[in-house]
Each structure stands twice: as structure tokens, then as C-alpha cells.
Amino acid sequence: MSTVQQTLSGLRQLKLGGMADAYQLQLDQPKLNASSFDERLAMLVDREISNRDTRRIQRLLKGTGFPESAVLEDLDDRAGRGLDKALLATLAGCQWILRHQNLNILGPTGVGKTWLACALGTQACRQGISVVYYRCSQLFSDIAMALADGSVSTLKSRLVKPALLLIDDFGNGEMNLAVGHVLLDIVDRRMRCGSLLITSQYPRAQWHGLFPDPTLADAVLDRIVHQSHQLQLKGESMRKIRAQEKMAGE
């Protein structure tokens, strides 16, 4: 085995695949021989760092459970959607998550709440922030099942651990008193370790009535609503608009 092959093999054994790929690239581009040793080494290190960052982001995205792929670069910011571009620019920096603040995205069905939430979640993953997505109805169902089979502690850990918990379509799903108290515990614990992103077609003024008990509602909403940013979307259904555009282009 040649020295080059030994070096490539050794790099891969050390799980330095990025450096191995960059080294192979240097071998395939003789003009790089004119670069100094320090310059060539820096290229190898930069490639390894870039590869690790990419793999970490991919792992974070895979663990989110997002129902759709969305990035802020593809945001449809046409007039009439009610998008607060200044606030969106601030949210894209993800400092609100690091500060344990919350975000509510509100608006009627079809205006793109879920898409925007997933795009902001993807932005967080890009910055190394862990995210977990839950549709509200599925969350309540999983809590009820965990209460029944004794695995509620495991579920709580999964919901408390990520830096950002995304609850989509709040107001849909059956919340009984037992489920509500588990939700309260999760929200209370998250106040000290992370943030909540909640989407809902219901205005926040109506959230109190979504709970089975007014005292429980007060306790949960006091923790959810305070220190929360709000994006109010409006306009026609984006599904309808895209369908019309597709038909017009055919």
C-alpha cells in the first residue's frame, strides 16, 4: 500500500472523512502543490469542520419530525400575508430560543403557519439547536397513551429535552384534565430550559376556552403567552393560491 493510500485509510479509520475527501481532492488537483503546507492543511481542517457541521445539522433535522421541508430562503413574502419582515429577521437569528422566549404563529387554515414554523425550526437546526415537532392532536394522544401504559416520564423527557418544542395546530385534539396537567408540567419545566413555538388557527383570546378547567388554563397560558413573540398571518389559503398558479402554468 502506498503512502497516499495509507494516509487516506488512516484518515477514514479516524473518522476524518472530510479531511480524507479534501486530501483526495488535493491529489487530483496538482496546481494545489504550489500552496504551502500550512495552506493545504488548513483546507483539510476546514473541509472536516464543514462536513461535521453538515452531519450535525442533518442529524438534528432528522430528529425533528417535521411534516414538510421548509427553509426561510423559500418564504413567500407576497403582500397580503401579514408577514412582519423585521420580526422574521430577528427570529431567524434564533436568539429568542437561547433566551427561552416563545413564539406564537396565528392565522386561519391554509395561510402557511406550519410551513413557516418548520422553516424557523430548520433555521434553528442550522445553528445547532435541537428541535422536536408535534402536531397538537398527536401530542395529546401520546400523552394519554403514556398515562395509560406508565411511560409518561419517558415522554416528558423527550418533550423537555430539545431547546425548541414546536406544537402545531394548538386547539385541535382532545385534552382532558389528566392530559392537561401533564401539559402544564411539560410547559413549566420548559420555561427553565427552552422555548415553545405554537401555531394555532384560534386567536390567543380564545385559548382559555380550549382547556377543560379554567384554573389549569390560567396556569398553562400564564407560562405560554408571557414573553412570547407573535406572528399573525392572514390572506388567502396558500394551498389555494399555489393550486391556482399551477393550473395557470399548465
Cell numbers at 92, concatenated: 431567524
CA 219, 223, 227: angle at the middle one, nearest 5? 150
Q: Is 165 helix (H, G, I), strand (E, B) or coil?
A: strand
In a domain, 248, yes or no: no
Number of domains comprising the chain: 2
- 225 and 125 inside one domain: yes
- 111 and 36 inside one domain: no
Q: Which amino acid is at 45?
A: V
Determine the pLDDT at residue 23: 66
Q: Output phi, psi for 229, to 5 deg.
A: -80, 160
CATH number at residue 198: 3.40.50.300
Cα→Cα distances 26→1, 46, 177, Å: 19, 13, 64
- 208 and 128 inside one domain: yes
Q: Which of 82, 160, 153, 66 has the alpha carbon at shortest distance from 114?
A: 66
**Domain membership of residue 37 as a residue range:** 3-62
Cα→Cα distances 194→58, 70, 177, 205, Å: 21, 22, 24, 24
| Distance separating alpha carbons of residues 120 and 168, to the nearest angstrom | 13
Q: Is 134 helix (H, G, I), strand (E, B) or coil?
A: strand
Determine the pLDDT at residue 146: 96
Determine the pLDDT at residue 11: 66
Whole-angstrom distance between the N-terminal and C-terminal Cα of the chain? Answer: 58
Which of 18, 44, 62 is the last residue before a domain boundary?
62
- 38 and 113 inside one domain: no
Q: Which of 138, 107, 84 has the alpha carbon at shortest distance from 202?
A: 107
- 192 and 147 inside one domain: yes
In a domain, 247, yes or no: no
Judge whether 143 and 136 are in contact, CB under 8 Å: no
- 148 and 170 inside one domain: yes
Q: Is 132 helix (H, G, I), strand (E, B) or coil?
A: strand
In a domain, 86, yes or no: yes
CA 83, 72, 244: angle at the middle one, nearest 5? 70
Q: Which amino acid is at 44?
A: L
How do residues 19-67 score in pLDDT, each as one tens digit? Answer: 667 667 776 777 766 667 677 677 766 776 666 777 777 887 888 899 9
Determine the pLDDT at residue 81: 76
Burial status of residue 88 (CB atoms within 10 A of its CB: 0-12, 13-18, 19 or more): middle
Residue 82 has, within 13 A of its CA and on its CB side, a CA count of: 17
Q: Which of 96, 173, 101 has the alpha carbon at shortest distance from 183?
A: 173
Cell numbers at 165, concatenated: 418544542
| Distance separating alpha carbons of residues 149 and 84, to the nearest angstrom | 44
Segment-wise mean pLDDT, segments of 10 residues, the chain, 250 residues: 69 69 70 69 69 75 88 81 86 94 93 94 94 96 96 94 96 93 94 93 94 95 89 72 52
